[in-house]
Amino acid sequence: MEPVDVTVAALHASVDDPALNSMNFLNEVAQHYPDAVSLAAGRPYEEFFDSAVLHRHLDTFRRHLADDLGLSAAQVDRTLLQYGRTKGIVHHLIARNLAVDERITVDPEAIVVTVGCQEAMFLVLRALRAGPEDVLLAVAPTYVGLTGAARLVDLPVRPVAGGPDGIDLADLREQLRRARAEGLRPRACYVMPDFANPSGVSMDLAQRRRLLDLAAAEDLLLIEDNPYGLFPAAGTDRRPTLKALDTRRRVVYLGSFAKTVLPGARVGYVVADQRVAGSDGTVGPLADQLAKIKSMVTVNTSPIAQAVIGGALLAHGCSLVAANVRERAAYARNLRHMVDGLARRFPTGGPVRWNVPAGGFFVVVTVPFTVDDALLHRSAREYGVLWTPMAHFYDDGAPVNALRLSVSAVTPEQIDEGLDRLAALLTDELAHGVTAQGRRYATPRVSGHPRL
């Protein structure tokens, strides 16, 4: 028998939690079936990857330090190689990017550069979870990284209905009322207003304003996560972020460069301009409190990784819209190819439905039967196609009749091949007369697509 030093039951509960095991499970399936077409991975497109950019970006940022900021050669070396500022060294470039691309005006001192957006999420949740009465609200279905980070700080996540408008405001009000009636303190509500992961749903402008008004009226913080905002569908316009509309410091904004520059830098950020009064009477941005936590998690974000992102920003006047012309076109092309491909393979009004997102990486397909991990295994093994059961994005383990397809890391040819295989699987399942059971996923409102 194998020796055992400790059981998982003696470790923090998070390590045995579905939210943390979910990603592992999905990765393992992918590794187990390397030849399957993956419509599961939310990774960015790799066709334009070229690691030669690393040298170029590093040198661009070094020149920026020397020429624009006036640093000596020794200071440049020290900035890149030594320990550094906890809140980061590309905050001024991020502020400029937010001004240029998002019309968000923010004091660079209110920005913390983090190790990917995941650390930003973790820092915010760690700061907000002060005691056992604290809870977080999140639009369901929810990005699993949010749920996982909440688990690490023992912060319960309560679902708010998403629905066709991105967030059901009546349900948000009801969840706030209920939590407070139970003596709980809802610290914030997590939302992804643009092309949400996994639902693909976006909020329209009026809904954004209503959400901000509600947040002000209810004294609620909003955590806005925006990894996909740069990638609208072909022919559609981008909408202002909540943060751009936020005149009352209600929004903590999470930013990622994983999809707009490259994931390997592991650089993200948080804009936290909320005014925090310290016990000594001084008032400063919430960012300063997050930085204190960060100093005990990762000390500071690698200045080398930041330099890569800084160089990429500088190469395009701090506009990621400009930097991603090719990528934006590729994602829009893929999204259209996916929804066109679904329409070609499944009859309108039939049992298989899907939404047509206004942008982003994800499309949700609903079917009249439960979509679980066993079906994913069968799909991988017998049909050679991977996708993500929507059940992974809910926290309650209830059955879900939907699956998520991703368009981000595949070519149009792979989309065709993957959809052929998916159609074979679903046709087979439908032929076996499996009937609906469990949660009925409501196909979100169709928008931005002439066909439907």
Task: Name which of residues 121 to 160 contact a second copy (CB under 8 A).
Answer: 122, 126-130, 145, 148-149, 151-153
Question: Could you tell me the smallest distance in angstroms from the CB atom of residue 27 to a second copy?
Answer: 8
The per-residue DSSP string of 323-372 comes to HTHHHHHHHHHHHHHHHHHHHHHS-TTSS-EE---SBSSEEEEE-SS---
Instruction: Please identify, using beta-carbon distances, which residue of 109 and 420 lies nearer to a second copy.
Output: 109
Residue nearer to a second copy on the CB measure, 81 or 398:
81
Number of residues that bind a second copy (CB under 8 A): 86
158: helix, coil or strand?
Answer: strand
DSSP 253-287: EEEE-TTTT-GGG-EEEEE---EEE-TTS-EEEHH
Q: Which residues pair with 185 in a beta bridge?
A: 134
Residue 451 Cβ, how far from a second copy at the closest point, in Å?
33
Element (H, E) at 316: none
Separation CA 40–CA 376 (nearest Å)? 10
Does position 283 interact with a second copy (CB under 8 A)? The reply is: yes
Q: Which residues, 204 to 223, sit near a second copy by CB under 8 A?
A: none
Residue 405: name the closest of 227, 230, 144, 200 by CA: 200
- Closest CB 25 distance from a second copy, rounded Å: 11
Give the count of alpha carbons within 13 A of 34, CB side only: 1
Residues 220-279 that bind a second copy (CB under 8 A): 249, 258, 262-267, 274-279
91, 106 contact by CB (below 8 A): no
Q: If binding is defined by CB under 8 A, does position 69 make contact with a second copy?
A: no
| Shortest distance in whole angstroms from residue 295 CB to a second copy | 6
Nearer to a second copy among residue 112 and residue 367 (C-beta):
112
**What is the closest distance, in whole angstroms, from the C-beta atom of residue 193 to a second copy in the complex?**
21
Query: Which residues between 158 and 197 bind a second copy (CB under 8 A)?
Result: none
Which residue, 71 or 161, is less far from a second copy as judged by CB?
Answer: 71
Between 180 and 275, CB nearer to a second copy? 275
What does the alpha-carbon distance between residue 374 and residue 395 come to, in Å, rounded to a whole number? 18
Q: From the list 26, 254, 286, 426, which residue makes contact with a second copy (rule: CB under 8 A)?
A: 286
For the record, the structure tokens of 240 come out as: 């202002």
Nearer to a second copy (CB atom), residue 145 or residue 341: 145
**Which burial class, exposed, middle or buried, applies to 240 when counting CB atoms under 10 A from its CB (0-12, 13-18, 19+)?**
middle
**Closest distance of CB 400 from a second copy, Å:** 22
Q: Does 435 bind a second copy (CB under 8 A)?
A: no
Q: How far is the CB of 308 from a second copy (least distance, A)?
A: 6
Query: Judged by CB under 8 A, does residue 411 bind a second copy?
Result: no
Q: Which is nearer to a second copy, 23 or 170 (CB)?
A: 23
Contact residue for a second copy among 50, 67, 182, 237 (CB under 8 A) = 50
User: Is 4 or 217 the residue whose CB approaches a second copy more closely?
Assistant: 4
Beta bridge partners of 138: 159, 190
For residues 400 and 391, the answer to whether their CB atoms sit within 8 Å is: yes
Q: Residues 28, 77, 174, 413: which binds a second copy (CB under 8 A)?
A: 77
**What CA–CA distance (Å, rounded) separates 227 from 346?**
30
User: With contact defined as beta carbons under 8 Å apart, do 162 and 201 qualify?
Assistant: yes
Task: Answer yes or no: are the C-beta atoms of 426 and 367 closer than 8 Å.
Answer: yes
The one among 28, 32, 55, 344 contacting a second copy by CB under 8 A? 55
* Residues in 5-44 that interact with a second copy by CB under 8 A: 5-16, 19-21, 23-24, 43-44
Query: Could you tell me which residues come within 8 angstroms of residue 25 by beta carbon, excluding any fewer than 6 positions away?
Result: 373
Count CB-CB contacts under 10 A for residue 439: 16
Closest CB 215 distance from a second copy, rounded Å? 12
Asked if 310 interacts with a second copy (CB under 8 A), we say no
In the three-class reduction of DSSP (H, G, I as helix; E, B as strand; rest coil), residue 76 is classed as helix
Choose which of 289, 334, 379, 388 interacts with a second copy (CB under 8 A): 289
Using only the alpha carbons of the chain, give its radius of gyration: 22
The single residue listed with the structure tokens 């930097």 is: 323
Please report how close the Cβ of residue 31 comes to a second copy at its closest, in angstroms. 10
For a second copy, the closer CB: 150 or 419: 150
Query: Can you give the length of the chain in residues?
Result: 452
The reply to whether 110 sits near a second copy by the rule CB under 8 A is no
Chain-centre distance for alpha carbon 229? 10
Candidates 39, 98, 115, 242; binder of a second copy (CB under 8 A) is 115
The residue (of 126 and 336) whose beta carbon lies closer to a second copy is 126
Tell me the window of 173-181, 224-232, 291-299, 330-338 that interacts with a second copy (CB under 8 A). 291-299
